[in-house]
Structure 1
Amino acid sequence: MMRQADPITTKNKLNQHQAFKISRFKPLIKKTKPHKHEGYFELIFIAEGEGFHWIETENFQIKAPDFYFLKPGQLHFWQFTAIPKGYVMMFREEFIDAVREMKILQQMQQMGDLTRIPVWEDPMVGQIFEDILQAYQEQPLNSDDLIKGYLRVLFAKIANRIRSTPSNGKENPLCDKFLSMLSQQNPIRHQVADYAELLQTSPQNLNQACKKKTGKSASKHLSAQLILEAKRNILHTDQNINQIADLLQFNDASYFVKFFKKHTGETPHQFRSRYFGDL
């Protein structure tokens, strides 16, 4: 895999007035550059095609039928070796009514960090995507309600397939807002107190909320996000360690190296060499 010299880009394929969009995959064999999406989710169904889908630091071999769910701020790119057929659906969280569509939001939260639905061979899935595409293109009366009805069915099928349950049965909007903010903020702030201030709470309350929701403190989530951003730039750009430390707003490169090794067990150079060898 070749790395790009340019910084990782953030794409926004929804304009400011759009909350939902669906389209078919372009019938092209191509490789995309590593990128993130700003402020929206992606549901991707691949009915036919071969190649690879890299999400964060994990490389999936495409095995159609294949299904992916990407959250705002996640990095990914494609490398197809056969013409793909399928659908890409994009929507902002506000497209899902928090009152009327609470079940969909709960099912999305239950998926946690899962990005790929394993062994997705339900014959109805392709037809659901096609029906959503038709409703989106033809815009019949109450098309949004129609699309959301299809989404309810789709997410119910996903929930049944992965059989996942939340770590805690209670909603925790404070932790949810923090995790959403953490995944999308650039650059990432290094202190929990900064996020607590933005969320108009105390660091103690924020830590407690995250522990209750996920079993991990806000500071652990913050460190994990910093490591994730570091790995993204180590793997997907040609920036040196000093540049990456500066990008992530560490005081100096030596502290960044110590921080990275503390949380991963290896230095940034060792991590890069493990993927690419000594370059």
Structure 2
Amino acid sequence: MQLVMIPASSISTKNKLESQELFKISRFKPVIKKTKPHKHAGYFELIFIAEGEGFHWIETENFQLQTPDFYFLKPGQLHFWQFTAIPKGYVMMFKEGFIDAVKEVKILQQIQQMGELTRIPAWKDAIVGQIFEDILRAYQHPDQYSEDLIKGYLRVLFSKIANHTSESFNNGRENPLCDRFLGLLTQQNPLLHRVGDYAALLQTSPQNLNQACKKKTGKTASEHINAQLILEAKRNILHTDQNINQIADLLQFNDASYFVKFFKKHTGETPHQFRGRYFG
């Protein structure tokens, strides 16, 4: 698939949930379209596509649809669609506040245990589509039991994901400090560069933060920060028309030459070479 440069000064952030809205589900619009690269503000997105053809770009990966296809997008992840046939399926969005941290702690644990999971292609489990349909029905015809019903279905759905992709999950050890850091990392705009800056926001020491991250993920907090900086750089290199100087400034690098060295150190190529691989 040929990627087309999007003429934009920055990547947009969409919020399809109203300020007080915590949950929403709808069917895919039956249209063939290409969306612009964007991120979602502060909510998770579960997507089930039963029918359709086309491509789904998530961060720097381009997936060809393999229906029935399932995606789990976390807050702040960049994506866009290019359909070549009318899609049929569901889009479910919810904020973390929808899940009661005391009553529904199991759901929060299941979300954390999904780790880096983004996609389950060709998920031929008939009950998954039915779960989305039942949740949609409960959402469209609310009564006193609807919210409990929806959350019950979410537990079933996440449990089925765990059974289907258990090898993709992390070891499931809880680590609130690391979890809060990783969540904060995707919310900072512009990104902070120093472990000490994040440690101060989390009211801990850089040593404690590094230790917590190393224990849970095998990577230090610094490695996570560098990975997020590279991800943000790639997003802007591929999906905006900003030049390298502008991207370096956006990501709070002191100068463009240092940004270029940083990018090459972590990717093996310069920002210009990376952009050239996609646009020639």
From the superposition, tell whether residues 165 and 48 of structure 1 become closer, same or farther in structure 2 (CA, over 3 Å).
closer
C-alpha displacement of 1:166: 4.9
Alignment of 1:223 onto 2:215 = no
* 1:86-138 alpha-carbon deviations (Å, 9 max, x no partner): 00000011211222222222222222111101331100111110110010011
C-alpha displacement of 1:2: 1.2
Aligned residue for 2:6?
A: 4
C-alpha displacement of 1:39: 0.4
Amino acid of the structure 1 residue aligned with 2:235: R
Alignment of 1:197 onto 2:200 = yes
SS of 1:63 mapped into structure 2: coil
C-alpha displacement of 1:164: 3.4
Alignment of 1:188 onto 2:194 = no
SS of 2:275 mapped into structure 1: helix
Pick from 92, 95, 104 the counterpart of residue 92 of structure 1: 95
C-alpha displacement of 1:83: 0.4
Whether contact under 8 Å (1:109, 1:166) holds in the other structure is: no
Pick from 60, 67, 72 the counterpart of residue 69 of structure 1: 72
Pick from 132, 135, 138 the counterpart of residue 135 of structure 1: 138
Amino acid of the structure 2 residue aligned with 1:100: K
Q: Structure 1: which 5+ runs fail to align?
A: none
Alignment of 1:238-277 (within 5 A): 238-277=241-280
Counterpart Cα distance in 2 of 1:165 and 1:2: 32
Alignment of 1:147-166 (within 5 A): 147-164=150-167, 166=169
Counterpart Cα distance in 2 of 1:272 and 1:76: 18
Aligned residue for 2:118?
A: 115
CA RMSD of aligned residues (A): 1.1
Counterpart Cα distance in 2 of 1:146 and 1:271: 47
Aligned residue for 1:53?
A: 56
Aligned residue for 1:106?
A: 109
* 1:150-181 alpha-carbon deviations (Å, 9 max, x no partner): 11111111111101365444310110000001
Whether contact under 8 Å (2:39, 2:78) holds in the other structure is: yes
Counterpart Cα distance in 1 of 2:129 and 2:144: 23
C-alpha displacement of 1:227: 0.2
Alignment of 1:169-184 (within 5 A): 169-184=172-187
Counterpart Cα distance in 1 of 2:251 and 2:53: 35
* 1:161-217 alpha-carbon deviations (Å, 9 max, x no partner): 101365444310110000001012111011111111111111111111100110100
Counterpart Cα distance in 1 of 2:24 and 2:168: 28
Counterpart Cα distance in 2 of 1:35 and 1:134: 28
The two structures have a TM-score, normalised by structure 1, of 0.97
Amino acid of the structure 2 residue aligned with 1:274: R
Q: Structure 2: which 5+ runs fail to align?
A: none
Q: How many residues align?
A: 277
Amino acid of the structure 2 residue aligned with 1:25: F
C-alpha displacement of 1:271: 0.6
* 1:239-274 alpha-carbon deviations (Å, 9 max, x no partner): 110111011110000000000001111100111111
Whether contact under 8 Å (1:110, 1:165) holds in the other structure is: no
From the superposition, tell whether residues 102 and 54 of structure 1 become closer, same or farther in structure 2 (CA, over 3 Å).
same
Amino acid of the structure 1 residue aligned with 2:94: F
Aligned residue for 1:33?
A: 36
Q: Which runs of 4+ in 1 moved over 6 A?
A: none
